[in-house]
């Protein structure tokens, strides 16, 4: 476990990206637990989507509400208030959970185009978490089956950051008594992992991807219903600029990106 301890020591802060998609309590608690086990501080970053404010500035600006399916007129100022109120709520929630778990936390708000801002702001962080997004349509953000999930998933490509990600994922799975699913595209990596993980007491599934492609990864990951997906940032899969959109908007679990 020397490697893991080193990895833990190195990651002193986890950046958690929040936006207008709802983040559930369960998901937030899970992220706080992650920080606690890694002895890391949490920094919450709320991204105010500039495009939303621009749209609200238009003379015919309207909002279709999820609660009632009704159309209501909006303005830049009303939308700004709405975004700030939401940010305040997210901050309170984060602080509340962090205080309970005795995890150091901070919070900031930044405005800009959503994806571009997320990419820019997360560039320098060692660990970045994108909280699970529930339903696109649901306004409650609840995930009925979240409590049933007890699997940690990891994409492994043999890079240094992948080793670091493996160390973190193993640590979390051990702590929670969860199963560990390792997705890999290289047969050699699969063999190496199978041998390497034999000493672990936890249940490890090494899954060989049919294709080294983000779409394939997402499709083949789905049946495992992971609670947390750990992804090394160096992976070829996430070099494409579209990756973040697909990860953040399509995965129904927390995503931990490890550099």
Partner 1 sequence: MTQPKSRDDLIVSSNKLYHACDLSALAFKTSDDLEVTSEHLGQSRAMEALKFGIGMAHEGYNLYVLGSTGLGKHTTVKQLLEKESSTADIPPDWCYINNFDEYHKPHCLQLPAGRARKLQADMEQLVDDILVAIPTTFESDEYRTQIQAIEDEFKELEQKTFNELSEKADKQNIAMLRTPGGYTLGPIRNGEILTPDEFEKLSEEEQEAIKSTINEIEEDLKQVIRKIPVWQKESRERVKALNREVSELTVDQFVEEVRRAYTDLSEVTRFIDTVKADIITNVDAFRKYGEQKKAGGNNQELIKTLFSRYQVNVLVDNSETEGAPVIYEDNPTYQNMVGRVEHVAQMGTLLTDFTMIKSGAFHRANGGYLILDVRKLLMSPFSWEGLKRVLRAGEVRIESLEQMLSLVSTTSLQPDPIPIDVKVVLTGSRLLYYLLKEYDPEFGLLFKVAADFAEDITRDDKSSELYARMIATLQRENKLEPIDKSGIERIIEHCSRLVDDGEKISLHMGGLVDLLRESDYWAKQSQRSTITIDDVESAIDKRRYRLDQIRERVHEQVLRGTRLIDTEGEKVAQVNGLSVIQLGDHAFGQPSRITATARLGTGKVIDIEREVDLGGSIHSKGVMILSAYLANRYAKSQPLSLAASLVFEQSYGMVEGDSASAAELCALLSALSELPVKQGLAMTGSVNQHGEVQAIGGVNEKIEGFFDICKARGLNGEQGVIIPQSNIKHLMLRKDVRTAVDQGQFAIYAVSTIDEIMELLTATEAGVADKTGNYPKQSVNGLVQQRMQKLTQLHQQYSKPEKTKGHDKAAKRK
Q: Interface with partner 1 by CB under 8 A: which residues?
A: 19-21, 49, 51-52, 54-67, 69-71, 74, 79, 82-83, 85-86, 113, 135-139, 144-145, 147-148, 222-223, 225, 250, 252
- Beta carbon nearer to partner 1, 4 or 76: 76
CA dist 29 and 37 (Å) reads 12
- Beta carbon nearer to partner 1, 22 or 97: 22
Which phi and psi angles does 43 have, rounded to 5°? -125, 120
Give 85: exposed, middle or buried? Use CB within 10 Å, 0-12, 13-18, 19+.
exposed
- Beta carbon nearer to partner 1, 5 or 77: 77
- Beta carbon nearer to partner 1, 5 or 177: 177
- Beta carbon nearer to partner 1, 141 or 196: 141
Tokens of 50: 């500039």
DSSP code for 239: -
Strands of the sheet containing 127-130, edge to edge, are 105-112, 41-49, 13-18, 127-130, 254-258, 228-232, 151-155, 179-184, 204-208
Tokens of 196: 């390497």
Length of the chain: 259
CA dist 20 and 49 (Å) reads 8
Among 49, 73, 47, CA closest to 60: 73
> Helix 243-250 to helix 214-221 angle, to the nearest 10 degrees?
10
């Amino acid at each position: 476990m020397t490697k893991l301890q080193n990895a833990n020591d190195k990651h002193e802060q986890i950046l958690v990206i929040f936006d207008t998609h709802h983040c559930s309590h369960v998901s937030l608690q899970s992220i706080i637990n992650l920080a606690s086990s890694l002895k890391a501080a949490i920094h919450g970053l709320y991204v105010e989507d500039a495009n939303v404010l621009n749209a609200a500035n238009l003379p015919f600006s309207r909002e279709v509400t999820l609660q009632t399916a009704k159309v209501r007129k909006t303005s830049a100022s009303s939308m700004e208030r709405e975004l700030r109120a939401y940010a305040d709520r997210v901050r309170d929630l984060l602080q509340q959970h962090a205080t309970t778990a005795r995890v150091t936390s901070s919070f900031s708000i930044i405005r800009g185009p959503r994806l571009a801002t997320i990419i820019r702001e997360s560039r320098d962080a060692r660990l970045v978490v994108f909280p699970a997004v529930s339903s696109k349509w649901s306004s409650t953000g609840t995930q009925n089956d979240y409590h049933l999930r007890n699997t940690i998933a990891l994409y492994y490509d043999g890079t240094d950051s992948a080793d670091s990600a493996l160390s973190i994922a193993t640590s979390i799975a051990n702590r929670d008594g969860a199963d560990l699913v390792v997705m890999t595209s290289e047969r050699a990596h699969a063999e190496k992992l199978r041998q390497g993980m034999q000493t672990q007491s936890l249940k490890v599934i090494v899954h060989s991807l049919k294709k080294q492609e983000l779409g394939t990864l997402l499709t083949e990951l789905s049946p495992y219903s992971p609670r947390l997906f750990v992804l090394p940032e160096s992976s070829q899969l996430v070099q494409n600029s579209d990756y973040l959109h697909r990860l953040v908007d399509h995965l129904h679990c927390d995503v931990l990106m490890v550099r």
